[in-house]
A and B are shown apart, each in its own frame.
Chain A
Amino acid sequence: MRVFRRPGAIVLALVLIAVAGAVFAADAFAQGAPFGAKPAAPPPSGFAGWVLAEQAKFFRALSAAIREAKADGSAAYGLFWLSFLYGAFHAAGPGHGKAVISAYLVADGATIPRGIALSAAAAFVQALSAIALVGIAALLLGATARAMGETVRWLEIGAYTLIIVFGLLLAWRKGRAFLRSFVAWRTGKPAPERADHDHDHHAHDHSHGHGHGHDHDHDHCGHAHGPELEDLKGRGWLKRGLAAVFAVGIRPCSGAILVLAFALSQGIFLVGVASTFAMAVGTAITVAVIAILAVVAKDVATRLAAGSNGAGMVAIRGLEFAGALVVILLGVLLITGLIASERMFPV
């Protein structure tokens, strides 16, 4: 079988899929066993414990900074800096669409600029969502925490449903591309040109200036190297990217809600709004770093697969299809509550 000539590509694809599985397995683990059963605890030590401890520190410093900003307006700058740092650390936690965005980037012609743009947009939408929630519910309507919690629950259901629908559309698209490449590989004929089949058959060589001077022909399989014209022109990418941003962004993050509610109680709601945006910048950076990891991983896989014509193409298409399936799975696990999103104290 020709496909096994590039075991590296196959291994990498499998490892990536396994990692995606592990990401939400770890999520599910963090959620813990049902009560009554032996409760499990998340790991408090090592890297994870360090992140936890840092987040706790930031969060406490945040509430102190909001108090200070109330007494002295110039303290607000310290608050914004803290919010930024908190956002960056906090985004290493659940939610914030890391997994969904990363899986999407693997599935759909990933580039680093796209990864950054999507991460930033998602963080921004999340900030807007939290501001709209607290602004409308608490400030205008005088709603209770319980009402806000219920609103968040509805937003969650909407967001997770969108993720599933989005994943299904993506899987349909990528599944067909996978099948086509498989058929092309088995029959030895190039896959037929299809209108909805973005940027795969333009046979562009990759000698554009990225510094990695590989000169082999990428055949039908090169597209993960940077913002190429075909990619950025759209061909549905922007539409799908925005759908992904919206799906992961409309569920506001609990940290932002708490900061806004506290700022509101201190009579400095607008400072809270600014702080939420500062937090979004930090969140965007962390999510972007993880998204870039996904892009780079796919890029490595693409390069490995590039040498082996059809078989490599099948592997990459398979990887993309798997990415789309992971999006669906994440949506399903989120909506069924099997993986933890965020929870506050029950109110």
Chain B
Amino acid sequence: MIRGPLKTALTVAVLLFGTAAANAHPHVWVTVKSELVFAADGTVEAVRHAWTFDEMFSAFATQGLDTDKDGKLTREELAELAQTNVDSLKEFGYFSFGKSGGKDVTFGEPKDYWLEADKDNVLTLHFTLPVVAKPAKGEMTVDVYDPTWFVDFSFAEKDPVALANAPAGCTVDVKGPDEASTAPTNLSESFFNNLTASSQFGSQFASRVSLRCK
């Protein structure tokens, strides 16, 4: 007696669940280039980001900012927006999640930040995130992603990451989010496992910068 309606109800539940799980979705795409800046003692002292926004968001964000109406956006015209960007990024942990020696790396207030627009008025936000406590020497990862998936971060294909003042023997690479994981699959057991995924799952989703020094 219960079987019939229960089955119907569960089917409905699965369908609704599916759409609910797809809820967070990006409106903004950011192409990331990052640089790890080393201190004299060979530890990383800052992460220098250059984030290029997609053209739609750039058009939205620069609305009304071309104060001299010359069709070009100068650094000065964009200064206030850059200020707002870095101020409000704090709430989101700058979308940058560092780890070193098994511990979280915390970042301080951004320095040297500005926005620049290219000829199509596509925006790039430059900012430097200082590392608060010295990370372990020679080993560090930085994930750049929005855990709430409203902003889609991916590293640039060309020169995604660089090292500044690095000691000899240090290499860095970038691994993007697991592309294969976005292929369509059935609503299988793994679908429900995903719904209860812990933070480890997030790193699979992230773009990760990995530093190794010999």
Contacts and interface: CB of A to CB of B under 8 A. Distances in A.
A11 B2 CA distance: 8
B23 A46 contact: no
Interface stretch (B8-16, B129-137, B162-170): B8-16
B81 A43 contact: no
Given A40-B199, A41-B199, A44-B177, A342 B15 contact: no
Contacts of A49: 181-184
A184 interface: no
B12 A297 contact: yes
B21 A47 contact: yes
B9 A12 contact: yes
B113 interface: no
Contacts of B9: 11-12, 15-16, 19, 297, 300
Nearest to B4: A8
Interface band, chain B: 35 or more
Contacts of B211: none
The main secondary structure of chain A at its interface with chain B is helix
A344 B150 contact: yes
A212 to B, nearest CB: 14
A46 B187 contact: yes
A243 interface: no
B62 A46 contact: no
A93 to B, nearest CB: 4
A31 interface: yes
A35 B95 CA distance: 9
B16 A293 contact: yes
Contacts of A266: 59
Contact of A8 (B2, B91, B147): B2
A346 B85 contact: yes
B88 A7 contact: no
Interface in B160-214: 177-178, 181-188, 190-191, 194-195, 197-199, 201-202, 204-206
Nearest to B13: A19
A42 B183 contact: no
Interface in A218-268: 254-255, 257-259, 261-262, 264-266
Q: Which of A15, A60, A344, A345 has the most chain B CB atoms inside 10 A of its CB?
A: A345
Interface in B11-50: 12-13, 15-30
Contact of B60 (A32, A38, A258): A258
B24 A39 contact: no
Contacts of B149: 30, 41-42, 52
Interface in A38-70: 38-53, 55-56, 59-60, 62-63
Given A46-B191, A293-B16, A347-B81, A254 B56 contact: no
Contact of A138 (B63, B148, B194): B63
Interface stretch (A21-29, A113-121, A190-198): A21-29
A145 interface: yes
Contacts of A293: 12, 15-16
B145 interface: yes
A32 B147 contact: yes
A144 interface: yes
Contacts of A255: 27
A271 interface: no
A77 B91 CA distance: 41
Contacts of A301: 5
A90 B97 CA distance: 28
A266 B59 CA distance: 9
B41 to A, nearest CB: 28
Contacts of B91: 35, 346
Contacts of A347: 61, 81, 84-85, 88
Given A19-B12, A94-B23, A346 B92 contact: yes
B63 A93 contact: no
B194 A46 contact: yes
11 contacts: A8-B1, A22-B17, A30-B21, A41-B199, A49-B182, A50-B184, A56-B29, A63-B54, A94-B23, A300-B8, A344-B150
Given A33-B147, A258-B60, A300-B9, 13 more contacts: A11-B2, A19-B9, A26-B195, A40-B147, A43-B21, A47-B21, A49-B182, A50-B183, A55-B25, A297-B8, A301-B5, A346-B92, A347-B88
